[in-house]
């Protein structure tokens, strides 16, 4: 099906558990874009036996709920974005920007790639309590890393719908680390980034507390407006 032309670079902002990954996967299906989740890239690095040990050492921060070094994020994310843009394919960036400093570094990168006019940012708003509830109940596939968001429909699922792998709990989805992530990567972290993009005139906001399909509908409306 043909869809209206949308921006090539869609940046999803939101606190952990706000549904960035879930919405990104829906957009990938609809627009045939590539989903770039820095969290997924970092977890893939962690399970790659051939990865650079210096890079792997930096993942300790992730396991304890802290942000990892900017240099590692830029190395992983910029290479992936460039590859997709060179293939003339759009990207959905999920959790890729977690400070104003990072936002500025991405801005410089987009300027260099001559795609600044092709950026749209969507902030998926959610309160901490709902996020906490979702994070304690979601599952991840131990084989392919697919994340299964919490919903009544998914409550009793034990195997991955994509690859049949066994579902487990993400290493950083335990009570203590979730609380720390919501503190460090919550609205306090998002607000200045959203303000930065608002000043650039590229920010849209959606209500992430509604059910998955409703949020998806709103995101599509925003993209195709
Ligand atoms: P996520 O899968 O998006 O929840 O990310 C999991 C973890 O990866 C985060 O808690 C951070 O430790 C790390 N991470 C992901 N993206 C970034 C980023 N842009 N900057 C710093 N750390 C990140």
**pLDDT for position 5:** 86
**pLDDT for position 6:** 95
Per DSSP, which regions of the chain are E strands? 9-13, 34-37, 91-94, 119-125, 139-141, 147-148, 167-168, 203-207
- The residues, any chain, with a CB within 8 Å of residue 126's CB and separated by 6 or more, are 14, 15, 17, 18, 19, 208, 209
Indicate the pLDDT class of residue 23, thresholds 50, 70 and 90: very high
Contact 36, 90 (CB under 8 A): no
- Tens of pLDDT, residues 132-171: 999 999 999 999 999 999 888 888 999 999 999 999 999 9
**pLDDT for position 1:** 58
**pLDDT for position 153:** 87
Q: Count other Cβ atoms within 10 Å, centred on residue 189.
A: 19
Mean of pLDDT values over 83-102: 97
- 149 in helix, strand or coil? coil
Q: Write the secondary structure of 155-218 as one string of H (helix), E (strand) and C (coil).
A: CCCCECCCCCCEEECCCCCCHHHHHHHHHHCCHHHHHHHHHHHHHHCCEEEEECCCCHHHHHHH
CA–centroid distance, residue 202 to ligand 1 (Å): 23
CA–centroid distance, residue 16 to ligand 1 (Å): 9
Q: Which two tokens stand for residue 181?
A: 């992530």
Q: Which residue has the least CA distance to atom 1 on ligand 1?
A: 39
- Tens of pLDDT, residues 73-92: 999 999 999 999 999 999 99
CA–centroid distance, residue 38 to ligand 1 (Å): 6
Contact 96, 87 (CB under 8 A): no
Indicate the pLDDT class of residue 3, thresholds 50, 70 and 90: confident
43 is catalytic: no
98 is catalytic: yes
Mean of pLDDT values over 93-114: 98
Indicate the pLDDT class of residue 100, thresholds 50, 70 and 90: very high
Mean of pLDDT values over 14-23: 96
| φ/ψ of residue 34, rounded to 5 | -105, 130
- The residues, any chain, with a CB within 8 Å of residue 144's CB and separated by 6 or more, are 160, 162, 163, 165
Tell me how far apart the alpha carbons of residues 101 and 107 are, in angstroms, rounded to a whole number. 10
List 43, 98, 134, 139, catalytic entry: 98
Mean of pLDDT values over 90-106: 98
**pLDDT for position 151:** 86
What's the mean pLDDT when you consider all of the chain? 95
CA–centroid distance, residue 154 to ligand 1 (Å): 24
Ligand 1 cavity residues, CB under 6 Å: 16, 37-39, 42, 61-62, 66-68, 73, 95-98, 102, 172, 181
């Amino acid at each position: 099906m043909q869809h209206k032309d949308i921006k090539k670079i869609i940046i999803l902002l939101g606190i952990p558990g706000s549904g960035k990954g879930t919405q990104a996967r829906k957009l990938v299906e609809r627009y045939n874009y590539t989903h770039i989740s820095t969290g997924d890239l970092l977890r893939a690095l962690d399970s790659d036996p051939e990865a650079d040990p210096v890079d792997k050492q930096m993942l300790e921060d992730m396991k304890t709920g802290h942000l990892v070094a900017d240099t590692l994020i830029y190395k992983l994310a910029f290479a992936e974005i460039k590859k997709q843009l060179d293939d003339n394919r759009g990207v959905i960036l999920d959790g890729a920007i977690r400070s104003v400093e990072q936002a500025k570094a991405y801005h410089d990168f987009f300027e260099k790639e001559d795609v600044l006019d092709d950026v749209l940012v969507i902030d998926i708003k959610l309160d901490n309590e709902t996020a906490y509830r979702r994070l304690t109940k979601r599952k991840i596939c131990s084989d392919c890393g697919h994340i299964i968001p919490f919903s009544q429909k998914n409550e009793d699922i034990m195997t991955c719908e994509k690859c049949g792998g066994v579902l487990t709990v993400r290493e950083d989805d335990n009570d203590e680390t979730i609380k720390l992530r919501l503190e460090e990567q919550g609205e306090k972290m998002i607000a200045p980034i959203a303000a930065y993009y608002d000043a650039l005139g590229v920010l849209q906001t959606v209500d992430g507390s509604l059910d998955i399909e409703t949020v998806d509908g709103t995101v599509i409306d925003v993209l195709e407006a």
